[in-house]
Amino acid sequence: MTSTTSTNRGDSFDEFYTEVKEIEKRDSVLTPKQQIERLLRPGSTYFNLNPFEVLQVEPDATLDEIKKKYRRLSILVHPDKNMDDSERAQQAFEIVNRAWKTLENDDTRKKCLDIYEEAKERTDHMIEQKRKKLKKENRLIETIPEDDPEKKKHAVYVMTMKLFADMERKRQHLEVRDMEERKRKREAEIEQETQVSLEKEWAKNFEESRQSRVESWKTFQSTSKDKKKKKIQSFKPPKPKPESR
């Protein structure tokens, strides 16, 4: 029975593999309009975080294979080839170009491959947990959805998209935090610059008014002396009164 089951599963996988290849073949000849629609479909913001998804290549594809697919797609969605929908074509072209730049670079391609490998590991762990649960509940004869190769591939695909989305959210969070930090520093710098400017202005005004203050003080002293002098000069002692006898 085990042999029969294994054979059936082998046949099922062969059928699935053939079907996947047919889908890839069909997608590879999508018209320019269909490719633009694919790249700008609802939810494309997250779908397009995965450069392998954008260029419709397997993660284990060689750089030459990726480059060929990129060239083919970039020609299909190029704005000059889609004059009747040039604005959307430009958006699609930029998405394709961005995906190629990501995979062309060794470091960023490795990061993408690491995400894909992590997705496979998490999926395998999830499958293992499901099987443990079946074993614990004495339901060993039952299967799990991921026993179907197509569903397992889809599970890896979903997990991959989730990890790319998580990475993008972290990037955006760090970007916002960095922007706020730069804004805070700039506000502190402006405050410091304003304080320094006010102190310089005060010092300048104080220096410029020094002569005026000195002259005012001299004038005050001179006026005070004149008043004292006049007061002394105008003072007349009282006449002595004769003594009465």
Tell me, yes or no, whether 243 lies in a domain. Answer: no
- One DSSP character per residue, 43-68 reads THHHHTT-HHHHHT--TT--HHHHHH
Count the Cβ atoms, other than its own, within 10 Å of residue 204: 10
Q: Are residues 36 and 57 in the same domain?
A: yes
Count the Cβ atoms, other than its own, within 10 Å of residue 39: 23
Q: How confident is the model at residue 89 (pLDDT cuts 50, 70, 90)?
A: very high
| Final residue of a structural domain among 57, 79, 104 | 104
Tell me, yes or no, whether 68 lies in a domain. Answer: yes
Q: Are residues 205 and 131 in the same domain?
A: yes
What is the pTM assigned to this prediction? 0.59
Q: CATH number, domain at 38?
A: 1.10.287.110
Tell me, yes or no, whether 232 lies in a domain. Answer: no
Supply angle C-alpha 213, 214, 218, rounded to 5.
Answer: 115
| Final residue of a structural domain among 104, 139, 164 | 104
Residue span of the structural domain in which 198 resides = 108-210
**Pick from 70, 33, 75, 35: which is nearest to 52 by CA?**
70
Tell me, yes or no, whether 41 lies in a domain. Answer: yes
Going from the C-alpha of 1 to that of each of 144, 161, 193, the distances in angstroms are 19, 38, 83
Q: Are residues 133 and 160 in the same domain?
A: yes
Tell me, yes or no, whether 79 lies in a domain. Answer: yes
- Is residue 140 classed as helix, strand or coil in its secondary structure? coil
Question: From CA 129, how far away is CA 155, in angstroms rounded?
Answer: 14
Q: Are residues 129 and 83 in the same domain?
A: no
Q: Are residues 139 and 93 in the same domain?
A: no
For residue range 179-231, what is the model confidence (pLDDT) as tens digits?
888 888 888 888 888 888 888 888 877 777 777 777 777 777 777 666 666 65
Q: Are residues 167 and 83 in the same domain?
A: no
The number of distinct structural domains making up the chain is 2
For residue range 138-166, what is the model confidence (pLDDT) as tens digits?
887 788 888 888 899 899 999 999 999 99
